Structure 1
Amino acid sequence: MTADAPPAVAVDKSQDSAPISGVRAWLSRHPLAAYALRRFGLYLIELWGALTIAFFFFRLMPGDPIQTLIQTLQQNYIYNAQASAEIIARYKHEFGLDGNLLTQYVVYMQKLVLHGDLGPSLINYPTPAQTVILRALPWTIGLLGIASVLSWVLGVVIGAIAGWRRGKLGSSIATNLSIALSHVPYFFVALILVYIFAYSMGVLPARSAYDSNINPGISLAFIGSVLKYGLLPGLSIVIIGTFSWILSTRMLMVPILGEDYLVYAEAKGLKSWRILTRYALRNCYLPQITAFGISLGFIFNGNVLVEQLFNYPGLGTTLVTAIQQLDFNTILGVTDMAIFSVLTAVLLLDLLLPLLDPRVKYWK
């Protein structure tokens, strides 16, 4: 006897085979857009988390900015001791220091996100902190931005040639100098340049951003003065930055020189310069673009020591002054701008890399 086979169980495949519709269907047909949306959502979460950490970190630091402001008012003889309670309460409200820490955080984020308001600046009261930062921002972008771009271009070009012509005298000199000088601090080079060109030769100014006898404005005299005064601090950044990019570009160039496609290109009779620029360099510039984009985000921090040394009115000098006077609003403003610029630079790189290199498929 054989047992009867159990009856087949009917399986409803209608749900499994049902086509995806709506937003999910559109995202499945557009994988790049889906990746961009996911990456932008992650960017917002990272931005919120970083701003939150920065807020609580600086608010938990010891020190009372209100007492610092009152001491300044007392020195200027405009402080009435009889109205001290009312003055302290008013200043705490203006600086967002009334209430508990959670209330301060909610009020701060509301003003920052909805109105772009950082509150008044203690170092230039009652000027808003965002106004103080925006005054210093063009100087930092003009100095460090141009210096960063110039050092990147020079470093990539020289580093690619040094890697391509490895073993030659010029390549050995560039490589050894890069190893020796790439980690030298900017301010040390700045001190040497100041000693040589400002004090010994007397051909370049040592401090400030422009000649005080010239009125700021769009004029050839003012622009020439800005370039002259910014030459030494910019040159100190370019020198060290260029050596760093030379070393990293050469390290990327050397391993790919023995690849088959380069041997094939050489066997076809292509010129060495064309092989270098069209084949070798294109396969090592992608990491450099990524690193350069991230480094551009950090220019908003300013090079504090260089700006202090040359008394340059950038964000670095503003940040140091704010820390000395416990100006939490300005400190947080500079920090928030640095966080925003770095995270935004990383986001743009993540979105642009698949377009620059078809091998990069983050959405797969």
Structure 2
Amino acid sequence: MLYFIRRILFFLLTLWAAVTLNFIIPRLEPGDPAEDIVRKLVGQNKAIDPAQVHAIRLMLGIPGGNIFQQYIDYLGTLVHGQFGISYTYFPYSVTSLIGQSILWTLGLVLTTNIIGFIIGNILGAFAAWKRNGTFDSFVSVGLNFVGTLPYMWIALILLFVFAFQLQWLPISGGFSETSTRQLSWDYAWDIVVHATLPALSLLITGPIGWIMGMRNNMVQTLREDYTRLAIAKGLKPWKVALLYSARNAILPNVTGLAMSLGGILGGVVLVESVFDYPGMGRLFFDAVGNRDYPLMQTIFLFSVVAVLLANLLADFVVGLLDPRVRKGEH
């Protein structure tokens, strides 16, 4: 029980620190969002009327006063679940914009991470069981090279080959402009087709981390006494590999999966920008470019809370699966 209490207290402390940094970091960026909006309206080389800037600040509800009062007001809005109005997409609220975008990113990230996790751990376990063989050599050398390739570079290659040259898949967007946008098999298939290239961009390198992690962990567990005893007893190889070695080797990857699922922005900002995919990554990219503090802060906050909750859940799962972790706390 003490193990779980400590995990919860650490979660709350980390959450407070993340909320505070989430408030401070956007305000370190130079410039005034209201002034930027006025400058876009009147032109870059023309003088700006301070009254116009003041009117924009009042319209957008940009906070004033000293930094400490802004921090107190910010905490108050979080407690009441009020995240403000987006400067970029005025007069839409931040929550409505995130509500529209998060489902697209969740569908993309959850699908690619789960598929990558399953494929990666299976291939990693096979490479460890057949270590020093042909497949293991390919995994150790070939996949390490592929893993160094950035998501955006892979996305651009896929876009050029399959969208521009072969014209097999759409160039951008989450659905066709002619789509009815009503729940149907045709609309679902249209979404799948548009998500294929972004998903492939993430899946080409996504499983590599799971493969290498599972392989290295399982190589260690294959040297443990309980695994050698199982082999000496004459158990079937698949039982030794799955029930004895892989079961323990996969525990560190469980934490990694939780972290990757929590970090929905990880690796998708540039990918969604390349494919103009209507997800959180593109929304965050627009918010940063326009100094949209409410939208930036809320996306940051949602991402951090998701990572912390996923990490807390992973700690609980690992603590339940491996009693040695709980005993280590005493």
Length-normalised TM-score, structure 2: 0.92
1:181 and 1:50 map into 2 onto residues whose CA distance is 33
CA 1:141–1:82: 2 relative to 1, 3 Å: closer
2:225 and 2:246 map into 1 onto residues whose CA distance is 15
Q: Which deviates more from structure 2 when the two are superposed, residues 264-273 or residues 315-324?
A: 264-273
Instruction: Return the match for 1:264 from 229, 250, 258.
Output: 229
Aligned to 1:46: 14
Aligned to 2:34: 66
Contact 1:319 1:330 in 2 (8 A): yes
Deviations 1:112-169 (A, max 9, x none): 12x2111110111011112111211111111122111111110010010011011222
2:275 and 2:222 map into 1 onto residues whose CA distance is 43
Aligned to 1:108: 74
Shift of 1:308: 0.7
Shift of 1:86: 6.4
Q: Which deviates more from structure 2 when the two are superposed, residues 173-182 or residues 214-223?
A: 173-182
Q: Secondary structure at the match of 1:349?
A: helix
Shift of 1:294: 1.0
CA 1:142–1:126: 2 relative to 1, 3 Å: same
Contact 2:151 2:267 in 1 (8 A): no
Q: Which deviates more from structure 2 when the two are superposed, residues 351-360 or residues 254-263?
A: 254-263
1:89 and 1:279 map into 2 onto residues whose CA distance is 63
Aligned to 2:253: 288
Matches within 5 A, 1:317-332: 317-332=282-297
Aligned to 2:311: 346
Matches within 5 A, 1:120-139: 120-139=85-104
Q: Secondary structure at the match of 2:323?
A: coil
Length-normalised TM-score, structure 1: 0.84
Amino acid at match of 1:48: W
- The share of aligned pairs that are identical, in percent, is 34
Instruction: Return the match for 1:314 from 274, 279, 282.
Output: 279
Instruction: Return the match for 1:273 from 218, 231, 238.
Output: 238
Contact 1:301 1:338 in 2 (8 A): no
Amino acid at match of 2:25: F
CA 1:271–1:66: 2 relative to 1, 3 Å: same
Contact 2:227 2:240 in 1 (8 A): yes
1:98 maps onto 2:56 in alignment: no
Number of aligned positions between the proteins? 325
Amino acid at match of 1:141: L
Shift of 1:200: 2.3
Task: Give the gaps of 5 or more residues in structure 1.
Answer: 1-31, 76-80
Contact 1:302 1:314 in 2 (8 A): no
Deviations 1:168-225 (A, max 9, x none): 2223223322211122111122222222222222211121111111022321111101
Give every structure 1 segment of 4 or more consecutive aligned residues whose post-TM-superposition deviation is greater than 6 Å. Answer: none
Deviations 1:57-90 (A, max 9, x none): 2123211112233345658xxxxx7964762462
2:137 and 2:256 map into 1 onto residues whose CA distance is 24
CA 1:65–1:82: 2 relative to 1, 3 Å: closer
Q: Secondary structure at the match of 2:324?
A: coil
Aligned to 2:130: 165
Aligned to 1:175: 140
Contact 2:35 2:53 in 1 (8 A): no
Amino acid at match of 1:231: T
CA RMSD for the aligned pairs?
2.1
Task: Give the gaps of 5 or more residues in structure 2.
Answer: 44-48
Shift of 1:363: 4.2
Contact 1:43 1:347 in 2 (8 A): yes
Shift of 1:240: 0.1
Shift of 1:349: 1.6
CA 1:167–1:82: 2 relative to 1, 3 Å: closer
